[in-house]
Amino acid sequence: MKCAFGKADILTTVSNTLTQLKDSESIIAQVLSEVTTKTNIIDKLVLENEQLKHNVQELNLRLKSVIDDKMKISVSLDNKKDEQANILAQNVFTAFHTEVDFANQRILDSIFSDEKTFDDSLLKEVRSARKLYSGKSTTREKQIEKILQSIQWSKEINRIISERPETLIKTFLAELADVSWLMVTSNPPLILNFDVKGKEYTARIKERFVECGTSEAISHCKCEPGHVLLVAWPSVELENNKGYLTKGEVVVMPNEINNKMTI
């Protein structure tokens, strides 16, 4: 009985089989390459996450130091001046936060001018690029100086600044500006929450602010009992109410006017 396949057919079959094997090896190599790439990305994200945690801890320590300095600056002032010193800190951080948000929008608008909304991943890429370069000393110093010069201080704040020793207030502003820049250029960015003044001290606010006392009587204030009279220490939070890192402190209006609270 003669073989149904000739030598040429056998060679063709072998050749096709070898080609299929090579194609399979190529696919396997491609899959392995993609797996390696994904693994490297995951490793990089893990390292970035650890670095972010370290940066957050460092920022919290620096922020506490800055606010402590603010308290020292205002310790001899009356309640009104102490509140204005707190407003000074809020104005500085708000200026930095607003500037970076506006810069983000300008970048996205210039690239995707026809889009009404942007995917979150695009914003993350912009923030990632900014974080990479914002920590450089030249960039940092230039941006900090520019933003500080753009702030329009109120007459009351200008008066408070002028009343303090020049070197002390300059040191305070420099430290506060530096911390603010690092916070708003983090990825994800961090915020200082001052926005609870005048609000009722409910369970939701208690999650992020603890009540502190004052050694002086509270009188002649247009604040309802049980509402936040003053933010003594802002909370450090992630944007869009995604969580908080450090609780703040607030003075709450007591139920009885002129009630003296102690620390």
DSSP string, 160-216: HHHHS-HHHHHHHHHHHHHHHHHHHTSSS-EEEE-TTTTSB--HHHHTTEEE---SS
Count CA atoms within 13 Å of residue 222 on its CB side.
0
One domain, residues 74 and 98: yes
Residues 228 and 251: beta-carbon distance below 8 Å: yes
Same domain, 181 and 208: no
Same domain flag for 27 and 139? yes
90 and 202 co-located in one domain: no
Domain end residue (candidates: 162, 190, 218): 190
Q: Are residues 47 and 142 in the same domain?
A: yes
129-136 contacts at long range (C-beta below 8 A, 24 or more positions apart): 130/100, 130/103, 130/185, 130/187, 131/185, 131/186, 131/187, 134/181, 134/185, 135/182, 135/185
65 in the same domain as 185: yes
- Determine the structural domain holding residue 66 and report its residue range: 7-190
Q: Are residues 120 and 233 in the same domain?
A: no
Report the predicted TM-score, pTM, of the whole model to 2 decimal places.
0.62
Q: Do residues 179 and 205 both lie within one domain? A: no
171 in a domain, yes or no? yes
On whether both 115 and 232 belong to a single domain, the answer is no
Write down the number of H helices and E strands in the chain.
7, 6
Q: Helix, strand or coil for residue 259? A: coil
- Cβ contact 126:107 at 8 Å: yes
Domain assignment present for 31: yes
The reply to whether 226 falls in a domain is: yes
Same domain for 252 and 132: no
pLDDT tens for the chain, 263 residues long, are 444 556 666 666 666 676 776 667 777 777 677 778 777 777 777 777 677 777 777 776 776 666 665 545 443 334 555 566 677 788 899 999 998 888 888 887 777 766 666 677 788 888 888 887 788 888 888 888 899 888 888 887 777 677 766 667 778 888 888 989 988 998 888 999 999 999 999 999 999 999 987 656 566 677 888 899 888 888 999 888 888 888 998 989 887 644 444 43
Residues 175 and 209 in one domain: no
Q: List strands edge to edge, sheet with 248-252.
A: 209-211, 248-252, 228-233
Any domain includes 238: yes
Q: Retrieve residue 263's tokens.
A: 């620390």
Tell me whether residue 1 is in a domain: no
What is the tally of structural domains in the chain?
2
